[in-house]
Chains A and B, each alone.
Chain A
Amino acid sequence: NAGVMQNPRHLVRRRGQEARLRCSPMKGHSHVYWYRQLPEEGLKFMVYLQKENIIDESGMPKERFSAEFPKEGPSILRIQQVVRGDSAAYFCASSASTDTQYFGPGTRLTVL
């Protein structure tokens, strides 16, 4: 049973470009969470989604950031018009009906 998959593992973008981060949850998991880890800081919650629904987006920046978890395919975290401050590691986690969250390896975004 494969774990949580994230791709790409490393992403480099220039300021103003768009970044798309993908997360495939563990098999059988319908809950997905996105967290951001800035350099030298702890992980910060961004958004929690179930299939086709955003349940809690209290940690999402109001502008430029969006997330989706379609019926088919991976969850996508989209960052439009990236700025240097978006450089961070973005972690996805998934869970089944229980609360245990399993984390993926992360995507490291670098904005030049």
Chain B
Amino acid sequence: KNQVEQSPQSLIILEGKNCTLQCNYTVSPFSNLRWYKQDTGRGPVSLTIMTFSENTKSNGRYTATLDADTKQSSLHITASQLSDSASYICVVQRTGRRALTFGSGTRLQVQP
């Protein structure tokens, strides 16, 4: 079954701290993996996209890693800010399909 699992479900950190979110997937055949940020009441916004041959991709304070062999990805957030409070969603696309498979997300809360 094509699935995307994320951990933890929720996370609370203090402003300025770093954190790492995890994603495991069984989606096959694999085309690419994306991380999205979804603010409450808004649509998802793309942070990074990685194909099979890419191990890491950065977007400002966000750094995503991908291990296609173990089918794992992580999203590392550096020097967190209050505005980072949101859900972070791991999304995988299968080869030959436009449809995306979403994880349930990690709800991150950054406290002052």
CB nearest to A58 among chain B residues: B99
Number of B residues whose C-beta is below 8 Å from A? Answer: 20
> Does B104 make an interface contact (CB < 8 A)?
yes
Number of A-B contacts (CB under 8 A): 54
Residue of A43, A101, A105 most packed against chain B (CB within 10 A):
A43
In the complex, chain B residues whose CB is within 8 Å of the CB of A100: 46, 49
Distance between Cα atoms of A56 and B93 in the complex (Å): 14
Distance between Cα atoms of A33 and B101 in the complex (Å): 12
Number of A residues whose C-beta is below 8 Å from B? Answer: 26
In the complex, chain A residues whose CB is within 8 Å of the CB of B97: 56
Task: Give the interface of A toward B (CB within 8 A).
Answer: 4, 31, 33, 35, 40-45, 48, 55-56, 58-59, 91, 93, 95, 99-106
A–B Cβ pairs within 8 angstroms, 9 of them: A4-B43, A31-B98, A43-B89, A43-B100, A43-B102, A56-B97, A91-B44, A99-B32, A103-B44
